[in-house]
Every structure is written in structure tokens, then in C-alpha cells.
Amino acid sequence: MVSDDGSWHGSGRWQDVRPDGTPAGAPVRVADLPAAIAAREAAEHPRWLWAATTEGYPTLLRAGVRVRRCHDVELTEALLLGHAGRWGEPRALAAARARLTGAPVPADPPPRLPQPPGFAQGALFEAMSGPPAAAGSGVLEALAQVYADQHARIGATGQPGRFALLVAAESAGALVGAEMGHAGLPWRADIHDQLLRELLGAPQPVGPPRRLAELTAEINEAFGVRGLHPDSPAEVLRAFSRAGIEVPNTRAWVLRQVEHPAVKPLLEYKELYRIWTAHGWAWRDAWISEGRFRPEYVPGGVVSGRWATRGGGALQVPKVVRRAVVADPGWRFVVADAGQLEPRVLAAVSGDSRLARAGAAGDLYAALATDSFGGDRAKAKIALLGAMYGQTGGAAIPALAVLRQSYPTAFEYVEAAARTGEAGGLVRSWLGRTCPPASTAWRDAGLEPPEEGGSAEPQGGAPGRARGRFTRNFVIQATAAEWALVLLATLRTALEGLRAELVLFVHDEVGVHCPAEEAEAVAEAVRVSAGRAGELLFGDTAVRFPLDVSIVECYADAK
């Protein structure tokens, strides 16, 4: 959506289009674009068609205009290119129909329900308001043609209902990301400064703060050396080697298994150094203004569909730093975290009825343990995470044998994805997001285990094995990202009419900032939205997606 001078303010043109991309009326010039959009939105709530939400929606938000729905051409094109085996190509915004080429791609997962879940085609592609043209109707014509092409290609996917839901959720996520960046996360700079001083000491004009300098001295003394830089993995590895200890890397979970006097101060140094460099005083000065942290969110920024950010580290705020995230006076945070999300997703997508019954419980691992692991919850957890992340050694071997015998359908679901990956093939999420080709390293995809412990660490072996570990988890993690995105979109709609605003979204955690009197209603809306997200994706499944919901004044106090 652009105006005559290429911006999103002032005069411009718009045009209604039909589902097939043909005009539903002549282009209309409006003198005040934000005001006209606001009036049209209040009267009809149309679905707005534009090239990219990031191009102009922030400008509308600054003008006080919000829209309920949109179709983001750029995000949709990326999904369609990936589905066609053309992942990573430049996003096509030209009017001509994309001619699908590239490597063979897999069929969509077969439907297990009488009717595929998700939005119906008619609901997604009803009459839509197109954006104003930059100069004449050329932009309008191009967007209408691209939209018509995308509409046809979505209809040609193996599961168009599911893919339509993915497109709608991805576009809604773009709206939420812009709105969250506009609203900002409440942040107390004074509390942030206080906690930094407690952890690190006073900031120094040159060099690291006092506590890091002290830890550096302790680490050097423990190794019996001088001049070692603890922030250099290469130097630390050489120091351990000189001490007769060979470690593969300096990750925290690896160092915790090492017996050496340097380990304790080194672990503390790593944690504090990360806080100082990623969320220290320089970060505060750059990112906090007027009591708000306003990062730029990138929906779908990771190939699994998870979000990313352009600077700011909004998706990786350490728990100790969250003490600075304090609600405004008279307001609260409602923070909801989906528990055991990926195992529940596996139960839903695989169609394993026995695992689905376990997924109906509040604690899936405990239910699994009672059902098949003699009450041993830890063993049940090792088995399920091992199956999803490709851990095949150590304690996982007997646990996986039990899982294979008791839940063969679920086990085969991830095994089939792994075999496809090892052979160089592509796999899809439940809604149709397609993994990148084998030429893209699996670690670059941003797929990580839910907690430390090494379950997704490379196990060595041929590249095909690593690719198999990536694809076996992609089908689960990408689907989990879809569930979270649909939850977010559904919750956004449920909050209409309230003063509450979405301010936080981290993978499977969502946060709402609201007046204290709205907190209970918001908490209930979150729970209802979680159930609705499960229904939209998986239909009538026994699997439940419970949330840990907290109503707090400080983000660090959430469960």
C-alpha cells in the first residue's frame, strides 16, 4: 500500500478485487490515506492486500490506524516458493505467474480427518481491498495479478485448506509483529541499571566491568597462566588441553561435565559476559526509550517459521534481565507458556491414538511413564525427545526401544522424516511449510532442543545423518511454530475491545500488557485461544495444549 509519492501517508489509490484477482471496481483516489483506511476498516473490516506489511503498516500505526486482516504478498510468496521446491529464491513480486521449477518435492501429509482443518478457501479469499497505486494503477494491477497467481497456487497445493490457514496466520503474524514493535515492551531503565551494577559492578570507561575483570583473574589463576581471554573459545580450549582435558567446545552444558577449578568462574564469566555484551548499558542506551523496548520483529525469520528480530535480542532476554520488565502502574502482564508443546504436536500430527491419549493429560511425560515406562518419567522424556531430536546413543537406546514398541505410529512419523532428509529430500510441516534444501546446513535453520543436554547436538557421521536429524525435528518444530502463530492470531482477535495489547511473543510464550481489571479476562482469552488453535490445526483430536498462565507485575515473576 503506497501513496502517489511512494509513502504511506497523504493521498493515494485503492481498488477492490475479487478472489480471482479481477477488479471489483475502478481504482479510487483518496486524499488522506490513513483516514480513509480507518473509515473503511471500521465499516467493513476488509482483508487488505499489500506487498509487505513491513513496508507501511508501521506508518499506519503511528497514525493511530489498525487493521484486522491482511494478505501479505511477500510472506505468502516465500511460503509458495518453498512449497514448490524453490526455497530461498528472491521473493517474486512481479505480476507474471511464477513458473514452478526445481527439485522434486514431497506430497503433503495425507489428511486424517474427514475435512482438512483450517480456514476455508472462501473465507480466506473473499473480496479484498487492494492498496493504492504509486503512480496510476500500475501497482494495483501488479498486485492483483500476483494475488490471483498466489490464489491459484494455494488451491493447487495438496492440502489447500491447511496452506490457506498457514498464509492467513503468517499474514496475521506480520500485523502482530508490527503492532508489538509499535506498542513496545514496558522497560524500567533504572531497574536495569541497578541489576547490571549488582551483577557486574559499575561500568568502566574502558574495558570490561569490575566483576568480569575479577573472574578473568580467577580463571587465569586456575589454569596457571597469564593473559588468557575467557571470551575466546580457542584460548580456553588450549588451556584445558594443556591441563590434560580435551573438550569439544566451551558450551555451558559441556563445561559442567568437566572437573577443573576453572570451570566455576568460567561458567559465571560466560553468563555475565553475555549479559554485558547483549543486554548491558550500551544495549539499554540503544534500545530503551520512553520506558519501552521496541525491537523490529521478523515473523517467519527462521526457516522453521519461528520469529527472529533485527537487533535487540528480544527473543533471548535472560531471566535476570527480565526484572527490568515491569508493568505500568495499575497494569499487569498476563504471560502464558505452552508446556511440552513439541511432544504434543507429535501426538497430534502422527495420528498415534495411544500417544494422543497421553497428550490429553496435563503432564504428558508422566502419562507416558505410567502407560509404558513403569512410572519412570525421566526415561519417558528421554525417549520422546530422543525420537524428535535424533539422539540415538547412551540412555536413549533402551528408552527408544520402548517408544518404538508402544507408540509405533508416532515413532515412524519422525523416522520417515529423517529418512527423507538423509536421502536429500524435503519435508513439510502440518500446514505445508517446506524445509530448505540439503545445501543449507541444518544448524543454520535455528532448530534447537527445548533445553540443554545435547539432544540435538551433532553426533558425527555422514552429512546425511545430520540432515536426517534436521528434517525429523523440522516436521515437529515447524508445526509447533504454526500452532503458536495461530494462537497469537486468535488471541489478537479475542482482545479486540479491550485496552490490553500484545507485547511479547517468544516461540511458545506470549505476553499481554493490560489494565489490572482486565487481567482475568485476558487470561481466559489466552486459554480459549490455545484450545482454538489446536482445533484449527488438528480438528477433533484428543491432544490438549495446556498453558501455564501467570498474572504478574514483573515479567521475571512469570512461571
Mean pLDDT taken over the chain: 86
For residue 446, what pLDDT band results from cuts at 50, 70 and 90? very low
* Average pLDDT over every residue of 53-60: 92
CB atoms within 10 A of CB 316: 12
* Average pLDDT over every residue of 188-202: 97
C-alpha pair distances (Å), 166 with each of 58, 107, 489, 491, 543: 23, 17, 11, 16, 20
Looking at the predicted structure, is the pLDDT value of residue 4 above 70?
no
Query: What's the predicted TM-score (pTM) here?
Result: 0.87
* Average pLDDT over every residue of 280-289: 95
Lowest mean pLDDT among 122-131, 251-260, 469-478, 523-532: 122-131
Q: How far apart are CA 477 and CA 304, in angstroms?
A: 7
For residue 12, what pLDDT band results from cuts at 50, 70 and 90? confident
Looking at the predicted structure, is the pLDDT value of residue 131 above 80?
no
Lowest mean pLDDT among 71-75, 121-125, 505-509, 550-554: 121-125
Domains of the chain: 12-158 (no CATH), 189-284 (1.20.1060), 342-428+443-473 (no CATH)
For residue 28, what pLDDT band results from cuts at 50, 70 and 90? confident
Q: How far apart are CA 550 and CA 329, in angstroms?
A: 18
pLDDT at residue 171 in the model: 97
pLDDT at residue 166 in the model: 98
For residue 129, what pLDDT band results from cuts at 50, 70 and 90? low
Phi-psi region of 292 (alpha: psi -120 to 50; beta: other; left: phi over 0): beta
CB atoms within 10 A of CB 102: 13
For residue 93, what pLDDT band results from cuts at 50, 70 and 90? very low
CB atoms within 10 A of CB 159: 21
Lowest mean pLDDT among 97-101, 301-305, 466-470: 97-101
* Average pLDDT over every residue of 52-65: 93
Looking at mean pLDDT, say which of 24-38, 135-149, 155-169 comes out highest. 155-169
Q: What percent of the chain has pLDDT over 90?
A: 70
pLDDT at residue 86 in the model: 81
For residue 89, what pLDDT band results from cuts at 50, 70 and 90? low
Lowest mean pLDDT among 157-166, 370-379, 436-445: 436-445
pLDDT at residue 110 in the model: 60
Looking at the predicted structure, is the pLDDT value of residue 392 above 90?
no
Looking at the predicted structure, is the pLDDT value of residue 145 above 90?
no
CB atoms within 10 A of CB 373: 21
| More confident call, 508 vs 112 | 508
CB 502 within 8 A of CB 180: yes
Identify the residue whose cell numbers are 566483576: 211
Q: How far apart are CA 432 and CA 438, in angstroms?
A: 18
Contacts of 174 (CB under 8 A, 6+ apart): 52, 53, 54, 57, 70, 72, 75, 299
For residue 339, what pLDDT band results from cuts at 50, 70 and 90? confident
* Average pLDDT over every residue of 387-395: 80
pLDDT at residue 2 in the model: 37
pLDDT at residue 6 in the model: 52
Looking at the predicted structure, is the pLDDT value of residue 97 above 50?
no
* Average pLDDT over every residue of 194-222: 95
For residue 120, what pLDDT band results from cuts at 50, 70 and 90? very low
Looking at the predicted structure, is the pLDDT value of residue 448 above 70?
no
CA torsion sign for 340, 341, 343, 347 is positive
